Amino acid sequence: MKALDQKLNRIFGGKVVRKDLTKLVKGNAIVPTYVLEYLLGQYCATDDEETIKQGVETVRNIISKHFVHRDEAEIVKSKIKEKNSHRIIDKVAVALNESRGIYEATFINLNVRKVQVETNTITKHPKLLSSGVWCIVQLSYVHTEEKGTSPWIIESLKPIQVSSVDLNEYKEARKAFTKEEWIDVLIQSIGLVPEKINFRSKLIQLARLIPFCENNFNLIELGPKGTGKSHLYTELSPHGILVSGGEVSIPNLFINNTSGRMGLVGYWDVVAFDEFAGTNKKGDAKLKDIMQNYMANKSFSRGKDVFGASASMVFVGNTEHSVPYMLKHSDLFEALPKTFHHSAFLDRLHCYLPGWEVSKLRNEMFSTDYGFIVDYLAEVLKELRREDHTNDFREFFTLSDSLTSRDRDGIVKTFSGFVKVLYPHGEYTREEAREIMEFAMEVRKRIKDQLIRMDETYEEVEFSYTDNQSGKKVYSETLENENYGYGKKKQEEETTGEKAANEQPAQKTVTPLPEGRQVIIRDNQTGISYMKLFGDYLKGAKSIKLVDPYIRLPYQFKFLLEFCVMLSKLKEDEEETELHVMTWNDEEHLKQSEENMYELSLAVEEIGIHLTYEFTDVHDRSITTDTGWKIILGRGLDIYEKSENRFDVGSVDQEKRLCKACEITYVKI
């Protein structure tokens, strides 16, 4: 056990668990992590291996005997009937039967409805009235012929969540950890390996926790697929709910005017909208207007009454283009449905997390070390919602007077959230405050930059703060603007460049590429690269097809990655290239090839390569372009000898590699 795990077990004994245990007990149960860790916390919250072993077996038995799988619902019903009473783990939703004046439960997996629930149970656990809560229920069966009466009886019901936490104890224990240690503890607690993530990426991951501890915090995260954007909102906390962005209605989200029943914002601390992006999706304009008002004023009106709520709103979705492409041709909100691609709505957001910076989740990124039982952490974050740290920055910094009230709100709420997550004990240095202030300014500036692009009524403001001690003014800029130069300076340069081009058109002489050319490569030849072989013929192509039946082994997938990198260098950052790959593998290894190809396709999205693929029985090897070239490949992309040396210059420079003998022919079609 590493030193941090030993320290964590010593200081937070009984409140931490080894993060790989959930996989050992989950099996095929479709159940959130916080449910499993709640059970593991009862039996495995220790560092004693023998106790862990016994605890895992106990939890396995509980899941095996009591968790209700949908496809085994009838078996469980029979078991309850024959035993008269049986304990189950299921998701339970309750609604008021207005005609009978009673509360009735629906067991989601068991598929049992209209089971009467005592009023005191609803009083104690009002969240049951929302979309469902995971519970441990003692359920019995008593046959009845009375019409309208359910034979199912709830003997006891307990939501699966920690009942209470000592926040002062948590804060005091935090003092024993350095900033770096504490951040790593939190990263391990959400299930990731901190050693594989840099500091900025850790802040992005932990920013996802802010909606759980900051009231009415509005966050959006857009980025490529496979980065775990929605994972946290389903797995971390029983106080958050993830709903499909296209399946929520006004009554479901806010209040039902007919029944008077409160919607999701009245019961949950975080309402997250999954798959919120999609330009082809239809949005409800009335829903957008009510959400917009709620996000700004923490209240909503339905009928004659005005209601308040503290639920944070989170929007997650996939981008459709690379970042430089969006910066060049549209804006960073372009993937949203047209209804929500609206400046007034987007201005209510406090934080835009750059999902394109988050690493794709791979097996080696999931932690096997210790972290907080997520249900314990969730209860701590809920308790921290009572606190307000939005003015704490004033001890160190003064924000620019040019910031609008919404800019300022976004910055200070993000700052406050990070204080709660990273420094709940209230002790942090000026430099530590600077780190979270600069991040808070950037995630709000990302929103403001796009609003200015979208709506000419928005004016440039100065995102800066002044250090109260030194008097130095510090300006904020988003990382993507620095990377690609698409700030105000870039726009001015483009305008100047366009004028110069109009005044003095450039004239270039283009030498035609030779047709019917053939290149013969000998064994052990060096000085050969993909750029030298293919660059001139692929430049300017928007659509390329690669046929190569032998992209199977790890080093061959590396060659394909290098080919994609070469393509990215042939285009401008803001442009995109479509690459379709046709390859094959035998049935035994086809699944692994498909997984590799999918992971590679995600990786090259960020460099503007849209990789699609199909596995079909092909034999020829070639490259075909939409510019009219066909390159016949004797050996496909696999033209290099495999090196066995640990430190080989050829591993980073193709021209230093030894080649295999082959022929390449270029034909105009």
Structure tokens at 42: 């009862």
Q: Which of 603-619 are b and which e, b meaning 16 or more Cβ less than 10 Å from the residue's Cβ?
A: bbbbbbbbbebebeeee
Q: CA nearest 284: which of 316, 257, 245, 256?
A: 245
For the chain, list residues with pLDDT below 50.
488-496, 499-500
pLDDT of residue 566: 97
Whole-prediction pTM value?
Answer: 0.81
Q: What is the pLDDT of residues 289-322, one digit of tens each?
A: 999 999 999 998 876 788 899 999 999 999 989 9
Q: Are strands 102-107 and 351-354 parallel, antiparallel or unpaired?
A: unpaired
Q: What is the pLDDT of residues 550-574, one digit of tens each?
A: 999 999 999 999 999 999 999 999 8
Instruction: Yes or no: say if 226 and 236 are a contact pair by the CB < 8 Å rule.
Output: no
Interhelix angle 405-422/430-454, rounded to 10 degrees, is: 140
CA trace torsion 141, 143, 146, 147 (10° rounding): 70
pLDDT of residue 205: 96
Q: What is the pLDDT of residues 163-183, one digit of tens each?
A: 778 999 999 999 999 999 999
- 509: DSSP letter: P
**Mind listing the domains of the chain with CATH numbers?**
70-159 (2.40.50), 165-384 (3.40.50.300), 392-493 (no CATH), 517-668 (3.30.870.30)
H helix or E strand, kind and range, residue 292: helix 285-297
- 255: DSSP letter: B
Q: CA nearest 125: which of 167, 87, 86, 92?
A: 92
- CA distances from residue 211 to 416, 448, 570 in whole angstroms, order as listed: 11, 20, 42
The phi, psi pair for 229, rounded to 5°, reads: -60, -40
- CA distances from residue 115 to 103, 133, 141, 555 in whole angstroms, order as listed: 8, 15, 11, 59
- CA distances from residue 643 to 222, 532, 550, 556, 559 in whole angstroms, order as listed: 40, 21, 18, 13, 13
CA–CA distance, 147 with 470 (Å, rounded to integer): 79
- The percent helix, strand, coil of the chain (3-state, each to 5) is 40, 20, 40
The phi, psi pair for 577, rounded to 5°, reads: -125, 135
User: Can you tell me whether residue 423 is helix, strand or coil?
Assistant: coil
